[in-house]
Structure 1
Amino acid sequence: MISFTALENFLNSNDEKSVWILGKEYDSVKDHDEILKDIRSRLWFTYRRGFSPIRDDSGPTSDTGWGCMHRCGQMMIAQTLVILHLSRDWRWNPDKFDEDYQRILKMFEDRPSAIYSIHSIASKAAFNDADRKITDWLGPSTAAQVFKKLVTGDRWTNLAAHVAAEDGIVVQEIKNLCYHNEQSQNYDASTEMNDSSWERLSRSRHERKINHFPSYYDNRALIVSNPISVEQDDEFVEIIMPPVCNVPSSPSDNEDAHPRSSDSVNSEACPAFTSTALSLKWRPLLLIIPLRLGLHELNMMYAPHLMNLFKLRQCVGILGGRPMRALWLIGNIDDKEVIFLDPHITQPAAIFSQSSPEAFSSLEASFHCSSFQQLPLNLLDPSLAAGFVCPTENDFDALCEDLKKTGIAPALFEVHDIRPSYLPPPSFSAVDTPEGWGEVCTSVSAPHLQHDSSYMSSSGVKTGSNGDFEML
């Protein structure tokens, strides 16, 4: 049983401590009221009961007991939307009508047609994995992949979502993604999309991703060895190892052309990023980076860097907690404890279209938490997913610079200006499932398949079917 401490007890003490909440610093004594206002203004999603069955008439009508990571993911996405449509400094005022705020809330209603509803999340997770049940709990990385697909239906925000893999942040490729607009920039459709529509959209995007390799790799053979294998950790949980892939250097390659560390951006190394792309409008970036900071418990050597994530103004929180008890982490106290919002409270289903004007106010209030908690850092599970939002290209550049200045990169993950030659091509990094790895492997022509035992030692990542991975 995890022991949580009420944050109000801490705030009522006379000990001055530094408090960081999603990129903002406070003094625990002098800024007492501002801390409370800030946390209460975050959108809080919890278990709900009494909504329409998910997927079919026999589906669940409550997510109690299994939907906590779904709800934490909703909180991260909601914070992203608040920053983009309302600003980080926005504060909830129940007496003031805010059209954009209400529009955001309706995107999370407990009904199938809402883009980020519990119905959409659970259905998309099961759609991606035939062995997954609607009521299966999600890990942080799996949740990140699900939301990456769901944002494609949000034409109002027009997000470019990227979930990092073992390659960390490759600046050039993420900029390509953000400058590649998939719909008219003036398009302002309804915030709703039916299930079949986003499933078709997801399939088409997945097919394009699998069948395309960047021109940087087009003329070089892929070396694939060590096919997909299944191992078990100490708790007999399956860990699936993806096929090992390497792109051999061409005769003209040298260390100057393809450095192993971050380097100035080279447009020739990634021809898709051209002056034409630069003339397009930047799509706001949602960047989610899954982390595994230990095997069975959090390795405290990562603690300072993990705490520094909350000091970045682009941070939209961290998905974490414990297995089967997910929490949305939003800040820290003196770099020792984390502040979180807890979804483990069951409330009636939230459906605004069925609420009378009188009932709307109380329903709206159910999305804002009046009690907050803190947790010692060492009690966190090592499997996490950190989220960042970059409304502009300058925000993304500043994020990458701050990650390196603070030492977060390379301590937790790496930041590369261009893809180093020793990393697999992005199509491999972007594949979401073991089945996807198989599809990519079979697309490589037989003459190119060779055994490369040396590459295995340079690969430090194992990816699991539950969306989490082990850092060796």
Structure 2
Amino acid sequence: MDSATLTYDTLRFGEFEDFPETSEPVWILGKQSNALTGKAEILSDITSRLWFTYRKNFQPIGGTGPTSDTGWGCMLRCGQMILAEALIRKHLGRDWRWESGKRQRDEYTSILNAFIDKKDSYYSIHQIAQMGVGEGKSIGQWYGPNTVAQVLKKLSVFDTWSRLAVHVAMDNTVIIEEIKRLCMPWLDFDRGARAESQEMNGYAEGACALPQEEAAVWKPLVLLVPLRLGLSDINKAYIGTLKQCFMMPQSLGVIGGRPNSAHYFIGFVGEELIYLDPHTTQPSVEPCESGRIQDESYHCQHPPCRMHICELDPSIAVGFFCQTEDDFDDWCMHIRKLSGCREGLPMFELVDSQPSHLTNNEVLNLTPDFSESDRLERFFDSEDEEFEILSL
């Protein structure tokens, strides 16, 4: 097997014993740990996250395209990681842990198979790259956080096993009514019209009624919020609020990075962000006939990477997962508390229904991936040259 190409970022922090000896809490995706007494648990938690990196020698994308994503696929891999975390939450739970050499549950194998570098995997680099063409990205071109969020939303429709409701909140606004309609679409169904239709067609009473158990089901929500937290550097007024997002039990982390480099941020300690780095080129992996996968390379087993929060590029997407309606209501309560906090600026607005100023389709499609001049104008010319902070 070819050796992996490791980056400086991947290796620069040495052994896990170099993790800061601090009494400050370590937050990983909504869970708090102690660096002095819980290093083993912190490492186990981080290692259990699915780690997607550059790969080489996979099937050509589109049949004749690239066989490696080295140099251009870092944000796509970060998108895979944040969505994989949502699938783990849904099918395995937040407390699930991966162990090297241990046979895993069938659900884990199904999740990993959804991301394998093959054209028929739901969330493969092939599917993301080809779906990105519809978002104006040619195959092999780098993405911004908003673009990858939009692509993941489109791909999730084909994942009938997970039945996720993926919502990308635009214009820095999360609209509760939109999300509840997405996660419980039957609430908008005209039951009177349904009953009348059944009677006209001679159906027995209740024969086609929505099953009671289905009516109570909430489609698990993946909420992605693309944001711009400054122009060229992150506005320090947002730092406290950003940290709070990692502390919420619904946290899926953040995709973003620094100039020339995209990362998947999963937590923080003090003023340092903890992240998984996709900039490691590894050979592609083929599943066995049984569907099992040699999965060692999909779990980062070296010390976690860290960087000062002020180094973060202001173009990011924050992710949250709400398994139930109660989870979503609890998340709304957390966000409203943050909005009233004086220690930092709110990163986005939470509203009950669509504000009147968001009725224009152009505004609804506002993206943090556009040029500096576009970002300064509420309405923009969609033909202006597009700009990505996280270029390669």
* Fold-level similarity (TM above 0.5): yes
Alignment-derived partner of residue 174 in structure 2:
169
Matches within 5 A, 1:184-195: none
Displacement of 1:429? 5.3
Measure how far apart 1:420 and its partner are: 2.7
Cross-structure match for 1:367: 298
Contact kept in structure 2, 1:305 and 1:408, CA below 8 Å: no
- The C-alpha deviation readout for 1:295-328, integer Å capped at 9, x for no partner, is 0111111111111110011111100112331000
Instruction: Report the Cα offset of residue 31 of structure 1.
Output: 1.0
Q: Is the 8 A contact 1:142 1:468 kept in 2?
A: no
Match of 1:399? 331
Q: Distance in 1 between matches of 2:256 and 2:151?
A: 16
- Give the TM-score normalised by structure 2: 0.80
Give the counterpart of 1:139 among 144, 167, 171.
144
CA distance in 1, matches of 2:125, 2:323: 26
Per-residue deviation at 1:343?
Answer: 0.4
Task: Supply the AA of the counterpart residue of 2:161.
Answer: W
Closer, same or farther: CA 78–461 of 1 in aligned 2, 3 Å: farther
**Partner Cα distance (2:381, 2:236) in 1:** 21
Instruction: State the match for 1:449 in structure 2.
Output: none
Establish whether residue 389 from structure 1 lines up as the match of residue 321 from structure 2: yes
Q: Is the 8 A contact 1:7 1:374 kept in 2?
A: no
Mapped partners of 1:30, 1:381: distance in 2:
32
1:82 matched residue in structure 2: 88
1:15, distance to aligned residue in structure 2 (A): 2.9
Q: 2:164 aligns with which of 159, 171, 174?
A: 159
Secondary structure in structure 2 of the residue aligned to 1:123: helix
Residues in 1 aligned to 2:274 and 2:379: alpha-carbon distance in whole angstroms:
31
* Offset at residue 138 of structure 1 (A): 0.4
In 2, Cα distance between equivalents of 1:111 and 1:392: 32
CA distance in 1, matches of 2:338, 2:381: 27
Q: 1:122 aligns with which of 129, 135, 150?
A: 129
How has the CA–CA distance of structure 1 residues 15 and 24 changed in structure 2, closer, same or farther, with 3 Å as cutoff? Answer: same
Q: Does 1:350 align with 2:285?
A: yes
Map of 1:36 onto structure 2: 43
Structure 2: where are the runs of 5+ without partners? Answer: 1-6, 187-211, 368-375
CA distance change for structure 1 residues 415 and 315 in 2, over 3 Å: closer, same or farther? same
8 Å contact 1:288–1:385 — kept in the other structure?
yes
Question: Does 1:284 find its partner at 2:220?
Answer: yes
Deviation at 1:17, TM superposition (A): 2.1
Counterpart for residue 230 of structure 2: 294
Tell me how far apart the structure 2 counterparts of residues 175 and 348 of structure 1 sit (CA, whole Å).
42
Tell me what 1:378 maps to.
310
Task: Answer yes or no: is the 8 Å Cα contact 1:167–1:423 preserved in 2.
Answer: no
For 1:23, the equivalent position in structure 2 comes to 30
Q: CA deviation at 1:10?
A: 6.3
The amino acid across from 2:141 in the alignment is D
Cα deviation, 1:220-255, whole Å, max 9, x if unaligned, reads xxxxxxxxxxxxxxxxxxxxxxxxxxxxxxxxxxxx
1:101 to 104, 108, 129: 108
Is 1:316–1:389's contact at 8 Å kept on the other side of the alignment? yes
CA gap of 1:325–1:25, structure 2 versus 1, over 3 A, is: same
SS at match of 1:146: helix
Verify the 8 A CA contact 1:66 1:324 in the aligned structure 2: no
Post-superposition CA distance 1:133-170 (Å, at most 9, x none): 20000001111001010100100111111101115111
Deviation of 1:96 (Å): 2.7
- Post-superposition CA distance 1:179-208 (Å, at most 9, x none): 127xxxxxxxxxxxxxxxxxxxxxxxxxxx
Task: Calculate percent identity across the aligned residue pairs.
Answer: 41
* Secondary structure, counterpart of 1:310 in structure 2: helix
TM-score, normalised to structure 1's length?
A: 0.67
SS in 2 for 1:411: coil
Matches within 5 A, 1:373-452: 373-407=305-339, 411-424=346-359, 430-431=364-365
Unaligned runs of 5+ residues in structure 1 are 182-275, 434-456
Deviation, 1:127, is 3.1
**Aligned alpha-carbon RMSD (Å):** 3.0
1:338 counterpart SS class: strand
C-alpha displacement at 1:280, in angstroms?
5.3
Whole-angstrom distance in 2 between the partners of 1:408 and 1:299? 19
Q: Which residue number corresponds to residue 149 of structure 1?
A: 154
In structure 1, C-alpha distance between the alignment counterparts of 2:8 and 2:336, rounded to whole Å = 33
Q: Which residue of 2 aligns with 1:314?
A: 250
**How many pairs are equivalent?**
343
